[in-house]
Amino acid sequence: MPLDSLHGTVYDPLVARREQRRKRPAWGADQVRALRRHLGLTQRELADELNVRQQTVSEWETGQYRPRGASERLLSVVAERAAFRYGEPESR
């Protein structure tokens, strides 16, 4: 079997996952607040669920800081499981 045919079956899923991760929208203040409201949680409750400080959630929601790394990925997982569309602007 030629290596080209193996390459497609072995590496394409990895490349696709990497591309999917890149296309995730960044978590801005409005999206974090909208997710929290969608879940019906206070800042303290969301902080407890994400294992961060309440002040951190507040800073995300005011735009002082953006979630990064594991927090960003965890927010994305929570949003997907809660059927929250986090790539769209919050409707007011």
List of E strands, 1-92 = none
Q: What is the pLDDT of residue 86?
A: 76
Helix-strand-coil split of the chain, %, nearest 5: 65, 0, 35
pTM tops 0.75: no
> In a 3-state reduction of DSSP, which class is residue 74?
helix
- The rounded distance, in Å, linking the Cα atoms of 62 and 69 is 19
pLDDT value for 17 = 62
In the chain, the domains with their CATH numbers are: 26-81 (1.10.260.40)
State the 10-residue block means of pLDDT for the chain, 92 residues long. 50 58 78 97 97 98 96 95 77 46
Strand, coil or helix: 5: helix
- Structure confidence at residue 85 (pLDDT): 87
Q: Give, to the nearest 10 degrees, the angle between helix 69-81 and helix 29-39.
A: 40
